[in-house]
Amino acid sequence: MSWKVKTLEVRKDNWAETRISESDFESDLAPNEVVFEVGRLAITSNNISYAFSGDALAYWQFFPTDEGWGRIPAMGWASVVASNHPDIKMGERVWGFFPYTNYHRILAGKVTSSSFSDVGEHRSIHAPVYCQFDKALANPLYDAPREDQDSLLRGLFMTSWLVEDFLNETDFGAESCLITSASSKTSIALAHSVKTRGKMVSVGITSARNKAFCEGLGCYDQVITYDELETQLPSGAAVVVDMAGSAETLGRIHERYGDALKHSCLIGATHYSEAGSLEGLPGPKPQFFFAPTHVQTRSAELGASILMGMLGKAYFGFRLFCDSWLKVNCAEGEHAAKDAYLAVLNGKLNASTGQLIDM
């Protein structure tokens, strides 16, 4: 048996240029190799952020390909359709990172009752959480009808929850948490986490087009547009979590607050075309948030099982919250997949829609 593999790739220097890479591999697997059949993967602004940080955070090295081209990582579910590892069974349903493809092969190792990992040499530079595949049947929150929702929300919620946990544990003394690109799902997850904690006011910053949508969610205490930054931002000490990646927008926030801005956290790049220098801004120096580092820190403090239990409980509540507004759409096949990717890249997707790709 052989597998015909089709994978969506983008130019590293021009993400709007795409191609479908075609290859095949035989069922004669090397020791410990595993083949996944990959299904419906999320495409959100979170994935665009992986491209934005592809070189800086080595996201392009997750799934190497030809020079000049990149495979954007995506989170979702897949099934083991071939295994040459004695402890990994055919049919195992797993959650993890995959390229936008129909089949994916890894070198498996670090097998436990709940997970295993890609231990290929090219993965050695990455944080363990990025290389891990979680077994569905070992996850108490696994619910097969919610797989699509998980693909869209689970990874980005983890990032947002960890950001909020970091802000709370560091205790910057802020009264407000300013969140740019407020209609993005990562921002919504952060706002939900901030509001659940109840220690800061959550302030969403968005376009005029998406203001009513963000207000209707109920997770933001205040929603303002980018045009209102100089007049409607709250007074007092604040932190900003930047999901937009716009140097101009972040600069205006720093100018507005100066030293009253207690922390400037860089996460996303929904407005990647507005990226630029952040040198010399008043107030704190903007800092990237790297979720695996905080996972390691908090796991050492609390124990990994306690931390994951806290995260799981919070995610369960967020899934229920999303039932009231999130609509799921799936693009099936390579042509539809390209169109869906470009729609997300260019900000054309309705804020209430969660987009999946099935190659």
> What CA dihedral angle connects 167, 169, 170 and 175, to 10 degrees?
50
Mean pLDDT estimate for the chain:
93
**Does residue 175 have a pLDDT over 70?**
yes
pTM as predicted: 0.89
Highest mean pLDDT among 26-30, 54-58, 61-65, 244-248: 61-65
Q: What is the chain's Cα-based Rg?
A: 20
Q: pLDDT value at position 273? A: 61
Residue with tokens 């797989």: 147
Q: Quick one: average pLDDT of 64-87?
A: 96
What pairing do the DSSP bridges indicate for beta strands 33-42 and 69-70? Answer: unpaired
Neighbours of 49 (CB within 10 A): 25
Structure token pair of residue 147: 């797989």
Percentages (nearest 5) of helix, strand, coil residues in the chain: 40, 30, 30
Query: Which residues 6+ apart lie within 8 Å of 83 measured at CB?
Result: 29, 33, 34, 35, 89, 90, 92, 108
Split at pLDDT 50, 70, 90, the class of 274 is low
Burial of 223 (0-12, 13-18, 19+ CB in 10 A): buried
Q: pLDDT value at position 290? A: 83
3-state DSSP assignment of residue 289? coil
Q: Quick one: average pLDDT of 83-88?
A: 96
pLDDT tens string 104-124:
999 999 999 999 999 999 999
The dihedral sign for the CA sequence 184, 189, 195, 197: negative
Angstrom distance (rounded) from CA 55 to CA 286 = 19
Neighbours of 203 (CB within 10 A): 23
3-state DSSP assignment of residue 168? helix
Of 52 and 266, more confident: 266
Q: In the beta sheet, which residues pair with residue 239?
A: 177, 263
Helices 304-322, 291-302: axis angle to 10 degrees equals 120
Neighbours of 170 (CB within 10 A): 12
All CATH 3.90.180.10 domain ranges in the chain, comma separated: 2-141+328-345+354-358
pLDDT above 70 coverage of the chain, percent:
97
All CATH 3.40.50.720 domain ranges in the chain, comma separated: 155-292
What pairing do the DSSP bridges indicate for beta strands 222-225 and 201-206? Answer: parallel
Neighbours of 107 (CB within 10 A): 19
Q: pLDDT value at position 270? A: 64
Q: pLDDT value at position 244? A: 84
**Does residue 271 have a pLDDT over 70?**
no
Superfamily of domain 2-141+328-345+354-358: Medium-chain alcohol dehydrogenases, catalytic domain (3.90.180.10)
Q: Quick one: average pLDDT of 281-296?
A: 90
116-53-152 Cα angle (round to 5): 55
How far is Cα of residue 19 from the mean position of the Cα atoms in its chain?
23
Angstrom distance (rounded) from CA 144 to CA 167 = 33
pLDDT tens string 37-59:
998 999 998 898 888 888 888 89
Q: pLDDT value at position 172? A: 95
Split at pLDDT 50, 70, 90, the class of 272 is low
Structure token pair of residue 347: 């900000």
- Kindly report the CATH class assigned to 155-292: alpha beta
pLDDT tens string 92-102:
999 999 999 99
Q: pLDDT value at position 185? A: 93
pLDDT tens string 304-326:
889 989 999 999 999 999 999 99
Of 26 and 349, more confident: 349
pLDDT tens string 130-139:
999 999 999 9
Q: In the beta sheet, which residues pair with residue 353?
A: 327
